[in-house]
Each structure stands twice: as structure tokens, then as C-alpha cells.
Chain A
Amino acid sequence: ETGVTQTPRHLVMGMTNKKSLKCEQHLGHNAMYWYKQSAKKPLELMFVYSLEERVENNSVPSRFSPECPNSSHLFLHLHTLQPEDSALYLCASSGTEGGRQFFGPGTRLTVL
């Protein structure tokens, strides 16, 4: 257990669906991150939140919409996804921006 939980662990959705991924950290950290991990590729940083403000958005398509209502929770809202968006989506947190990150178990997303 890393202190970072993600739900759901698995998600199958059609291209017209709307769904949300949830991440919660119990570590008292101030920064949270969303990553995409595709097969045989490095981790791709999608979004960074520090003290509940978005500080980084790495050219992610608008069909991915993050939300950070407080320092413990992070959401990734999904709509009109494409099959190539199928991947493992990982959430992480760190005490401050930068430094050691603690990862959740990920959500395995399949877009049909």
C-alpha cells in the first residue's frame, strides 16, 4: 500500500461514453499527477496539480479533463475517447511539486 488509491481498477467504455477516474491520497501531499502508460512506452505525464492548482498540462487532448477539488482528491473526466486512449492511467502524489512520487495501482482503461 502506497497511500494512493485509484478507482475503478478496470474500465471498459465505448467512444461515446462519459466516465471519470478517481484518485485519493492519504499522505498529506500537496501535489498530484496523472500519467498515461501505454505498452512499451515511457510514462507520459498528463497533468500536474500543486496546492489544487493546475501547473502543467502536457498538450493533452481536451477529451481528458482533470479536476482537483482538494489536495487529497484528483479526478480525470473522460468523454468521447478513442481506441488509442486505451492504456493504464496512473495517479501519483508528492509532498511538494518535484521529488519522490507515490503511485496508485492505476486504472486499466479499454476504449471500444
Chain B
Amino acid sequence: GESVGLHLPTLSVQEGDNSIINCAYSNSASDYFIWYKQESGKGPQFIIDIRSNMDKRQGQRVTVLLNKTVKHLSLQIAATQPGDSAVYFCAEASGYSTLTFGKGTMLLVSP
């Protein structure tokens, strides 16, 4: 049969709102996690990363939360702007393994 492409989850927010993008990972041995942003026509761009010895890390307008108990990662964007509209990917790695990427979430910010 014909294969069907994955439907990308979409989060729509208003400008100025806080956004939360979630990611579930499967490998309990993963010890490094990273979020990327990909705008249309561009390559993925690093946003923030976190190691498994931490459960929270903050950057400029972004916060990553890690819950190892339920293998869950989230990216919080404060005061979301139209320029934040993009696809956001989480990725995980264990030791020196290469990154394993998630499917991505599309964030749409309306003025």
C-alpha cells in the first residue's frame, strides 16, 4: 500500500503567550538532550541542551525541563514572537552515540 507521511503536531499560539512544546523519548540510557528550531528553507538551529544530571536549564526566553522518570522533555518559550514560528525538534543521545531525532512540532505564532 501507499505509505503516508507523518502528520506533524502543530501548536498555535498568540503573540506574547508562553509556548510549551513536549517531547517523549524512549531510551532510558539517554543522557544528553537537545532542542533544535528549523525555519522554512533552513537547516536546524541549536536552541538549548541539557544533560541528565539536571532537570532544568534556562536560556534567553527558553527553558528546557527534563523528567527522567517519565522520559519526557519540554521546551518552554516565554513571550512567543512571530519569529518563533518554526518546526521544533528534540533529540537524545547516550554516551558518544549519535543523536536520535524526534518527529518535530510545528509552532505557529499569530500576531
- Are A106 and B102 neighbours in the complex by a CB distance under 8 Å? no
Which of B14-22, B37-45, B67-75 forms contacts with chain A?
B37-45
Q: A62 vs B20: C-alpha distance in the bound complex, in angstroms?
A: 41
Q: Which of A13-21, A33-41, A63-71, A73-81 contacts B (4 or more CB under 8 A)?
A: A33-41
| B93 A40 Cβ-Cβ under 8 A | no
In the bound assembly, the distance between CA atoms of A33 and B93 in angstroms comes to 15
Given A40-B5, A98-B93, A48 and B98 contact (CB-CB distance below 8 Å): yes
- The distance from the CB of A39 to the nearest CB of chain B, in whole angstroms, is 6
B42 touches A106 (CB 8 A): yes
Mark each residue of chain B from 30 to 74: 1 if its CB lies under 8 Å from any CB of chain A, else 0: 001010100001111110010000000000000000000000000
- Residues on A with C-beta less than 8 A from B49 are 100
Interface residue total, chain A, C-beta cutoff 8 A: 27
CB distance B32 to A99 under 8 Å?
yes
Q: CA A27 – CA B38 in complex, angstroms?
A: 20
Chain A residues contacting B104 (CB-CB under 8 Å) are 42
Q: Which residues of B contact A108 (CB under 8 A)?
A: 41
Q: Are B42 and A105 in contact (CB under 8 A)?
A: yes
Interface of A is mostly: loop
Interface string of A34-59 (1 = CB under 8 A from B): 00001111110100100000001000
- With a cutoff of 8 Å between Cβ atoms, the chain B residues found around residue A96 in the complex are 96
Task: Please indicate which of the listed interface residues A48, A99, A106 has the most CB atoms of chain B within 10 Å of its own CB.
Answer: A99
A:3-18 near B, CB below 8 Å: 4, 6
* Contact among A2, A40, A97, A106 for B98, CB-based, below 8 A: A97
B106 nearest CB neighbor, chain A only: A40
* Beta-carbon nearest neighbor of B99 in chain A: A101
Known: A39-B5, A41-B5, A42-B102. A98 touches B95 (CB 8 A): yes
Which residues from A are CB-within-8-Å of B93? Answer: 98-99
> Can you list 16 A-B contacts with CB-CB less than 8 angstroms, sorted by A residue number?
A40-B5, A41-B103, A42-B89, A42-B104, A43-B44, A43-B89, A56-B98, A97-B98, A98-B32, A98-B96, A98-B97, A100-B34, A100-B46, A103-B44, A105-B43, A106-B42
